[in-house]
Chain A
Amino acid sequence: MASTIDQSCLYAENHEWIRVQEDLATVGISDYAQDELTDVVYVELPEIGSTFKQGDPFAVVESVKAASDVFLPVAGEIVEVNAALDDTPEAVNDDPYGRGWFVRIRVTDPEELATLMSPEAYASYLQEQG
């Protein structure tokens, strides 16, 4: 089954997406990632104000299958977390690019965005993954 790829996002190799709006950006996991995880039952989110380097684990997503680290696609400071996931973790499965977002960050170094995949590149990447 082909998974959905949101055209307004950039993608990291571990299947996180990032949607940039000026110096802030929203981060979540892709449709492919949520499908691989199966039902998400809990998301552990970071503290507001904490900072992470590119590729640092910043959250843990607990699914029926396993606990998985989620990595920050670019360095940043957490400015907002999706607290609604506490009560409705299934939003990650139902609407991964919308209600299922994880955090909003202030991007430390916008140049790091160039290391991420475009929606087209991510589509080929998924095909290679089989």
Chain B
Amino acid sequence: MAKHTPLYEEHIRLGAKLVSFGGWEMPLSYGPGPVAEHHRVREAAGIFDLSHMGELFVSGSGATDFLQHLVTSNVRRLKVGEAAYAPMCYADGGLVDDTFIYRLPDGFWVVVNAANTDKDLSWIRYLAVGQDVNFADQSKDTGMLALQGPAAESILEPLTPLELTGLARNRIEVTTVLGRAAMVARTGYTGEDGFEIYVSSDDAVPVWRGLLEAGRPFDLIPVGLAARDSLRFEACFPLYGHELSAEITPLEAGLSWAVALRKGEFIGREALLKQRLEGVERTLVGFEMIDRGVPRHGLSVYADGERCGTVTSGLYAPTLDRFLGLAYLPPRLAEPGAQIAIELRGQMREARLVQRPFYTPTYQRKRTGG
């Protein structure tokens, strides 16, 4: 039986085309179609139902130590209201999942991938035995909405007492939205400015409707998983099951900025330290198709006639109007401009390596402003 979020009926009412995703039945796209939804997020704003994501509240006197040991980034450094992207590894350095950890006044809010929620919970429960840490699975009781795009701040501003101009990237505040208890974070997975809003699952429908209503003058539309994928892909944010897996380490995936090797002991550190010293055997690269075709997940990559890697994601990128892909290649071949070929339907199609990300997130471009 497919699982449904509290907003399932809303999606049906809005005419969504549904797709099965990690055990959930979710909107693939709505009326305008994935490409139009993608453009709308880059140019105005889109709202996403992310209530399928898993949320875990971790508290207790040992919570900081526990998480510091669990993930590769430095959780101890987080002040109340700050967040960090946090890969979670096995002892051999392979990825259990990639998570986002927010520090709240009374504990930590850990957001995990929908398809990995059960696996992550078992892993964390196993490691927590005998530790002074409490964790509560909040996934069922939480509605998660993302409001993304250049108009997101203007839409949300009148609906919350929180002063949004003071909420920096990767910060979270406990507040209200449309009079309902909410946590508002300035985070997202689109490459645009925007917010992720956590509410009680009972409040998901009124908050969703209220945001859509308030956003109408700003051309806000609901956006499905297809455009969510093309938006994250252009910004080169990795997706578990594609760029990330138990066989891939964060160093291979280009996430060394989220691996704090100097922070002290953590799961996977020894393997990652060894890999850092000896070098990785494959690295994530971006490429652009010269011949036409969509270089989909799993296709083989060739250089000089020899098979040298595998495509992890490949799409038509609407903002860039090109066919682009991500793949793992040996580092010696990972030179921007290098020619490769993708085997697609029995034919070799020419492609060339290009810089990542394909689309620089807007909030990174204006970093000088703070």
Is the beta-carbon distance between B29 and A38 smaller than 8 angstroms?
yes
In whole angstroms, what is the CA distance A67 to B349 when docked?
Answer: 16
In whole angstroms, what is the CA distance A1 to B17 when docked?
Answer: 11
Is the beta-carbon distance between A38 and B34 smaller than 8 angstroms?
yes
With known contacts A38-B29, A41-B316, A64–B293 Cβ distance under 8 A: no
Contacting B at CB under 8 A, from A87-124, are 90, 93
Is the beta-carbon distance between A64 and B323 smaller than 8 angstroms?
no
B230, CB-defined interface residue at 8 Å: yes
The main secondary structure of chain A at its interface with chain B is mixed
User: In the complex, which of the residues B19, B35, B36, B316 contacts A42, with contact meaning CB atoms closer than 8 Å?
Assistant: B316
In whole angstroms, what is the CA distance A1 to B296 when docked?
Answer: 30
Name B's A-contacting residues (CB within 8 A).
15, 17, 19, 28-29, 33-36, 226, 230, 292-294, 296, 315-316, 323, 345
Q: How many A-B contacts are there with CB distance less than 8 Å? A: 44
Number of interface residues of A (CB under 8 A): 14
A62, CB-defined interface residue at 8 Å: yes
Is the beta-carbon distance between B294 and A41 smaller than 8 angstroms?
yes
Question: Which 9 interchain pairs have the tightest Cβ spacing?
Answer: A41-B316, A64-B34, A39-B35, A62-B294, A39-B33, A64-B226, A39-B34, A38-B34, A42-B292
Bitwise interface map of A from 20 to 43 toward B, beta carbon under 8 Å scored 1, else 0: 000000000000000000110110
User: In the complex, which of the residues B226, B323, B345 contacts A65, with contact meaning CB atoms closer than 8 Å?
Assistant: B226
Smallest CB gap from A1: residue in B: B15
Smallest CB gap from B36: residue in A: A39
Smallest CB gap from A86: residue in B: B292
Is the beta-carbon distance between B296 and A67 smaller than 8 angstroms?
yes
Give min CB distance, A35 to chain B, whole Å.
8
Is the beta-carbon distance between B294 and A38 smaller than 8 angstroms?
no
Give min CB distance, B286 to chain A, whole Å.
18
With known contacts A1-B15, A64-B316, A42–B293 Cβ distance under 8 A: yes
